[in-house]
Amino acid sequence: MTTQLPPGMQLEKVDERIMTLNVGPQHPGSGHMRLIIKVDGDHIVSCDPDPGYVHRGEEKMTEYRNYIQNIPHLERPVIHDSCNILYPYCLAVEELLGIEVPERAKYIRVIASELNRCVYTLYWLGIYGIFLGHSTMFMWPMGDRELLIDLLEALSGARVTHAYFVPGGVRNDTPSNFEEKCLRHVNYFEKRLKEYEDIFYQNPVLKQRTEGTGILSRMDAIRLGTTGSVLRSAGVDFDIRKKEPYDVYENLDFQSQVLKEGDSYARSRVPYLDMLESCRIIKDALKKMPKSGSVRTKLKPNPKGGNNEAYRRVESGRGSLGMYVVSDSKPEPYRVKISVGSFRNMICMPYLLKGEKLGNMPAVYWSLNYWPVEADR
């Protein structure tokens, strides 16, 4: 009896020309995942991503905890983007339980989620820089991230795992001097982003290296089901903040960032443009935010949702992040299905890397805006 072994464990015919490389899980150029790459000289013949090294059963864990207890562990897959991963959960639970969110809380949520998107994108950008051998681009974002983390710390008290969003609003109100501090930091951050443009995005060596590599056409991007920056870099104007606005995004003034090229350079540039846009959103939201008022609708202890279901999605740092919450009249949800952008973007990796040069592997791989821990959930 022959059993089909999982990829990477099969015995294969030894070929003189083609060499198999295991990029990961202990490789400086991989995340918590493995890429099985076959190279013919300098060209990649095939690429087989092998995720699942950090699977922790988040979805199953939700079934044993009630709606409030689920908050801290649900943000674990992306601790850099914890506000955005809690956002769809809070929206869905609010829909299930029928809770109204105060106006001020909605604005605070938008500010926190945009700040967190910048924090995540800076981390991603730092790693993109070091993957391309640009060590300054690793150090600068890591340093500037601290300012935004300080803001989030002032809001929530925690530096990375904020657990700030709760069904019914946010956990606590902003500190008294938050608005001016936020404005100051965001203004400085915008200035720094211009410097990133000079040293990184307009760098001739970087442009030479990433432009025209790993091209994802518009139709392929739609067909493969990519989301977020990957989809928008391929010329599809699909930003959930614009298309299905949640909370107060419809009141705010911003553009969805779309590029047409669909290559690694465009894919790495869309998150950068998103950061600039996030600064605009934060400043606008600070202006329009009600200056006082409640920030949280109190829930009943141990709330139960009826025989009901709700699906909400938001635009996270890595694209669409949706949560499908099913309730069966118990304090615990019956099922929480998390649909993440990382996994959907990872799917196009074999298509993009096939036929590329080995030197393009990190450029294409990390431009997909893929966070392995989130993909595994």
Partner 1 sequence: MSTIAPEFRLSRFIASLTDLIFWILVLFTLVGLPIVMIVLFYIELPVINGELLTPYLALTWLADPSRTLPIIKSLLYTDFFRIAAFPGFGFAALLASAIIFIERKFLAKMQLRVGPLYCGKVEGILQLMSDGLKLLSKEIIIPAKADKPIFWAAPLLFIGTAAALVSLIPVAPGWVVADIDVGILAVFAVIGFFPIITVLSSWASNSKFPFIGGIRALHQMISFEIPLILSLLGIVILTGTLNLTEIVESQQHYWWIIFMPIGAIVFFITLLAELERIPFDLPEAESEIVAGWLTEFSGMMYGLVQLGSYVKLYAFAALFTILFLGGWNGPMVWPPFPEEIITEGITMGPITVKIPGLPLLDQEMLNATLWFVIKTVVVIMVILLPRGVFPRIRIDLLLHTGWYKLIGLAFVNIFIALALLYAGVLGPGGLIQ
Residues that bind partner 1 (CB under 8 A): 19, 21, 27-29, 39, 42, 129-137, 139-140, 143, 199, 203, 205-206, 208-209, 357-362
Nearest to partner 1 of 133, 225 (CB atom): 133
Nearest to partner 1 of 242, 357 (CB atom): 357
**CA gap 119, 275 in Å, rounded:** 9
| CA distances to 34, 195, 236 from 254, in Å | 38, 22, 17
Nearest to partner 1 of 211, 237 (CB atom): 211
Residue 23 Cβ, how far from partner 1 at the closest point, in Å?
8
Torsion (CA) 76, 81, 84, 85 in degrees, nearest 10: -20
Nearest to partner 1 of 27, 243 (CB atom): 27
Which amino acid type is present at position 158?
Answer: A
Under 8 Å between Cβ of 102 and 297: yes
Nearest to partner 1 of 143, 175 (CB atom): 143
Residue 24 Cβ, how far from partner 1 at the closest point, in Å?
11
Which amino acid type is present at position 223?
Answer: R
Residue 114 Cβ, how far from partner 1 at the closest point, in Å?
24
Residue 241 Cβ, how far from partner 1 at the closest point, in Å?
31
Q: Where are the alpha helices (DSSP H) in 157-203?
A: 178-196
Residue 143 Cβ, how far from partner 1 at the closest point, in Å?
5
Q: Residue 268: which residues within 8 A CB-CB, separation 6 or more? A: 125, 128, 201, 210, 367
- Let me know if 226 is exposed, middle or buried by CB neighbors in 10 A (0-12, 13-18, 19+): buried
**CA gap 309, 197 in Å, rounded:** 44
Considering all CA atoms of the chain, what is the largest pairwise distance in Å, rounded to the nearest integer?
Answer: 71
Residue 104, classed as helix, strand or coil, is helix
Residue 196 Cβ, how far from partner 1 at the closest point, in Å?
13
Which amino acid type is present at position 120?
Answer: Y
Nearest to partner 1 of 94, 263 (CB atom): 263
Residue 44 Cβ, how far from partner 1 at the closest point, in Å?
11
Nearest to partner 1 of 43, 218 (CB atom): 43
Under 8 Å between Cβ of 304 and 331: yes
> The sheet that has 34-40: what strands, in order across it?
18-23, 34-40, 43-50
Q: What is the DSSP string of 262-279?
A: -SHHHHHHHHHHHHHHHH
Nearest to partner 1 of 43, 243 (CB atom): 43
Residue 186 Cβ, how far from partner 1 at the closest point, in Å?
19
Nearest to partner 1 of 113, 210 (CB atom): 210
**CA gap 243, 159 in Å, rounded:** 31
Residue 136 Cβ, how far from partner 1 at the closest point, in Å?
5
**CA gap 253, 271 in Å, rounded:** 18
